[in-house]
Amino acid sequence: MKTKKNIWLGFHNKSRSERIKILKENSFLNDEFSENLLNNVTLPCDIAEKISENNIGTLALPLGIAPNFLINGEKYTVPMVIEEPSVIAACSYAAKMISSSGGFYAEILNRKMTGQVILYNIENIEKAFENVLNYKEIILNTANEAYPSIVKRGGGAEDIRAEIFYDDNTSFLSVYLTVDVKEAMGANIINSMLEGIKSLLEKITGGICLMTILSNYADKSLVTSSCEIDIKFLSNDINVAVNIAKKIELASKFAKIDIYRAATHNKGIFNGIDAVVIAVGNDWRAIEAGGHAYAASSGKYKGLTTWTFDEKNLKLKGMLTLPMPIASVGGSIGLNPSVKAAFNILKNPDAKTLACIIVSVGLAQNLAALKALVTKGIQKGHMKLQAKSLALSVGAIGSEVEILAQKLTEAKHINLENAKKLLKEIRKKLRKIE
């Protein structure tokens, strides 16, 4: 029987056009998007100036892909937009290890968004609290009347709850509205609904509305991705593999007890997550805010992943749970040709599938970073891939870039000073040859 060729073999050593050709030939890209990518067609200025204010141009970032993601039995090639070297390599590497061990299992625990109406200056706050719950149905109907199209699409306002807060001499009543936003991220839907129920709530509570706004603490849009890695993929030497697995477990424990480490641990996770969120044209600040708030949901800011080593079965188990209120429609998603290409590469997933993919990328990035950190250290892999940008930043051009990058990876220190020195030497040698 003929075995299927691994199209990713040597992929990162190919040219850009060869990579696009491979994606096209293997149905990851249709003709239109592969043509757009080949010609680097990005956001046109006439559209850019309609998206945000005082526009004077666009700013480009590298778009790459991380292959090898097997999530809930489906294979994905994940588009990532990032300026930092080694993130895409790290995700590809970890995804390959995880996929060889059965892949990621990801599930959406819920997909609802929350908004709040904050009221103050209420004479009897306990009574106001009760009234809100008694008028629940009327409030929900009023919210849905403020945005009927989401109700037509099967979503809409679903629940209300309230909480009383006391400051030194002010008391607040916060009314939380839970909304099923379907495929959208939901900011406009929720904000319209909240503004729609504001005067009704002022009447019911006798208070003054301080503000109405959606919350980025999307704890009703949680996604969990988990994996079980056969530790033979960590190292060919089983004793070394056991040691790495134990250290990765310790690293995840330490990130839950020390805030200095937790922040860096989570930054690594968001290296992967933000890169995909940007590629699919979503609001990455919202995803970051929700993720970091969730990391502090116990009252202490903690690392978001959990790695445990099952020594009996020689498996390293990883898990990441995160709010992921991602959208597959709306905003600027349909306006940006590169975002449309990214969706095409992902085979146009719905919002729930996209959320599962993104959280799995976060888990993969964390595994690669931890493995590097507890073994050879981050500088080796990271700086090897940083060498080309360093070469460019000291002014290397044409063939000088590859030569200097190679020399830097062989050097004791990969830094600006060394890069400048080595470039001078290379130029001297090249001049002699001429």
Smaller CB separation from ligand HMG, 92 or 282: 92
Is residue 12 among the annotated active site residues?
A: no
Which residue from 58, 235, 264, 308 is in contact with ligand HMG, where contact means CB under 6 A? Answer: 264
Full DSSP string of 245-274 = HHHHHHHHHHTTT-HHHHHHHHHHHHHHHH
Q: Which residues does 167 contact at the CB level (< 8 Å), separation at least 6?
A: none
Which residue from 111, 256, 382, 407 is in contact with ligand HMG, where contact means CB under 6 A? Answer: 382
Of residues 265-284, which lie at the interface with ligand HMG (CB under 6 A)?
265, 267-268, 271
Which residue from 33, 93, 294, 343 is in contact with ligand HMG, where contact means CB under 6 A? Answer: 93
Smaller CB separation from ligand HMG, 140 or 383: 383
DSSP state of 116: E
At residue 112, what is the residue type?
K
Choosing from 198, 382, 388, 407, the catalytic residue is 382
Choosing from 35, 84, 107, 258, the catalytic residue is 84
Instruction: Give the CB-nearest residue to ligand HMG.
Output: 381
Q: What is the dihedral of CA 241, 243, 244, 246, to 10 degrees?
A: 120
Residues contacting ligand HMG: total by CB under 6 A: 24
Smaller CB separation from ligand HMG, 86 or 144: 86
How many angstroms from the chain centroid is the CA of residue 221? 14
Is residue 5 among the annotated active site residues?
A: no
CA distance 347 to 78: 10
Strand 208-214 versus strand 315-323 pairing type: unpaired
Is residue 84 among the annotated active site residues?
A: yes
Which residues share a beta bridge with 208?
A: 120
Choosing from 228, 249, 283, 400, the catalytic residue is 283
Cβ–Cβ < 8 Å for 63, 337: no
Smaller CB separation from ligand HMG, 96 or 292: 96
Lookup result for tokens 């709040």: 116
How many angstroms from the chain centroid is the CA of residue 404? 33
Q: Which two tokens stand for residue 261?
A: 């480490």
Instruction: Specify the DSSP element, H or E, that contains 405.
Output: helix 399-410
Of residues 94-123, which lie at the interface with ligand HMG (CB under 6 A)?
96
Lookup result for tokens 């008391």: 171
Which residue from 146, 189, 222, 385 is in contact with ligand HMG, where contact means CB under 6 A? Answer: 385
Of residues 205-244, which lie at the interface with ligand HMG (CB under 6 A)?
none
Smaller CB separation from ligand HMG, 29 or 383: 383
Region binding ligand HMG by CB under 6 A among candidate stretches 25-33, 82-90, 231-239, 324-332: 82-90
Region binding ligand HMG by CB under 6 A among candidate stretches 86-94, 122-130, 189-197, 285-293: 86-94
CA distance 25 to 33: 12
Could you give the 3-state DSSP secondary structure of residue 110?
coil
Is residue 317 among the annotated active site residues?
A: no
Region binding ligand HMG by CB under 6 A among candidate stretches 155-163, 289-297, 330-338, 372-380: 372-380
Residue 302 interacts with ligand HMG (CB under 6 A)? no
Closest CA to 360 of 63, 29, 80: 80
Query: What is the dihedral sign for C-alpha 357, 362, 367, 369?
Result: positive
Cβ–Cβ < 8 Å for 79, 276: yes
Choosing from 75, 267, 376, 424, the catalytic residue is 267
CA distance 315 to 248: 12
- State the residues that interact with ligand HMG by CB under 6 A: 8, 12, 84, 86-90, 92-93, 96, 264-265, 267-268, 271, 368-369, 372-373, 378, 381-382, 385
What amino acid positions are annotated as catalytic residues? Answer: 84, 267, 283, 382
